[in-house]
Amino acid sequence: MERESNFRLLVLRKILFEKTDEQNEMGIQEIIESLQREIPDTTFDKRTIKRDLEILDETDFEIVRNTGKFGKILYSHQARLFETYELRLIIDAILSARFITEKEKNNLIDKVKMLTSKRIAKTLPEPILFSQSSSMDYELVKLNIDFVHHAISEKRLLSYQYGKYNIHKQFEYNRNGDRYLVEPYALIWQNDYYYLIGRFRQNGEMRHYRLDRIRNIEITEERFVKNDFNLQDYVGQSFHMFAGKEIWIKIQFHKDLINVVLDRFGLEADIKELDEDHFILKTKAKLSDGLINWILTWGNKAKVLAPEDLVSRVKGQITRMMEVYE
């Protein structure tokens, strides 16, 4: 009898979670009819169900009681772990991740929708809006995420091989296939890719590595002590996650690009007005192809003022671009 009572409570909880929310309530008779569909050939007494509702409420599964037309008592469960906008944020992130396969997107989104009522779940998007890169090896990325996550939490050294694809779409290892030894500091999702950020043991430099280019990863038994490290500064200075030497730069921008610069560097960016049409940005960044390409994106609306080395590299890139069209 106790087992039947516990099972009934679980089914009742499921019904209220899936079918009720702020805009949908159920009377006792509707609840009983739903129970009978879930547990056929069983009868339910109204007093028993009312007592079950009280038990659920006492065990922190909040039951809201309202009075409807003609004094009818209506019941609902309105508390949710996630607000609707939070679920939308999660699903949109899943949809926009290019490395997740369509099958896995369906699987993940179905799980997310189980966190709310069926009515709200129907309003959330289906995985048909975004395409992913066919070159992504999702199974490999999933495995690498798991390894890196555990290594970070346990502060253990990672060992792996690293490489990239050549023009023939064949994967080639860097450093003749020698293994990289890296102290993992962080795992981030940036520019449609997952990156491991860590200290390269061979020379002590902070570097980042794309997870889809990591092969044969292993968590070693060796532990490490984390040094002070500002992840936000590192990511902010690594344009499009290109590595390079950190330098101070000064760039003149047309005022049309003020929001572009604020989007990239934040409201705290060091910006000074030059004249009625231009302003100057001063900031730290990593000297890299990513930085140069970003500057060239804005054509004649961006001009590098310092350092001279960056000015020369930008001029050289412009010259090479012109030669392509001559």
Mean of per-residue pLDDT scores for the chain:
89
CATH classification for the domain delimited by 233-324, as one of 3.30.70, 3.40.198, 2.60.120, 3.30.160: 3.30.70
Q: Using CB atoms within 10 Å of the CB of residue 295, give its burial: 0 to 12 exposed, 13 to 18 middle, 19+ buried.
A: buried
Across residues 275-281, what is the average pLDDT? 94
284's enclosing H/E stretch is strand 278-287
Instruction: Please state which of the ranges 50-64, 197-211, 254-268 shows the lowest mean pLDDT.
Output: 254-268
Output the pLDDT for position 267.
Answer: 82
Across residues 262-272, what is the average pLDDT? 87
Architecture of the CATH domain 2-76:
Orthogonal Bundle (1.10)
Across residues 140-163, what is the average pLDDT? 93
Which of 159, 161, 185 lies closest to 171 in space, CA to CA?
161
Check residue 175 and report its DSSP letter.
G
What is the rounded CA–CA span in Å between residue 175 and residue 163? Answer: 8
Cis peptide before 127, with omega less than 30 degrees from 0? no
Output the pLDDT for position 104.
Answer: 86
Output the pLDDT for position 17.
Answer: 92
pLDDT tens, 68-105? 888 899 999 998 888 888 999 898 888 877 778 888 88
Residue 42 has pLDDT above 90, yes or no: no
Q: Could you give the C-alpha distances from 8 to 12, 95, 315, in angstroms and in order? A: 6, 37, 75
Output the pLDDT for position 248.
Answer: 94
CATH fold, domain 138-229, is: SH3 type barrels. (2.30.30)
Predicted TM-score (pTM) of the model is 0.64
Cα 239–chain centre separation: 19
List Cβ neighbours of 289 (8 Å cut-off, separation of 6 or more). Answer: 242
Across residues 43-53, what is the average pLDDT? 92
List Cβ neighbours of 84 (8 Å cut-off, separation of 6 or more). Answer: 116, 120, 123
Across residues 214-229, what is the average pLDDT? 95
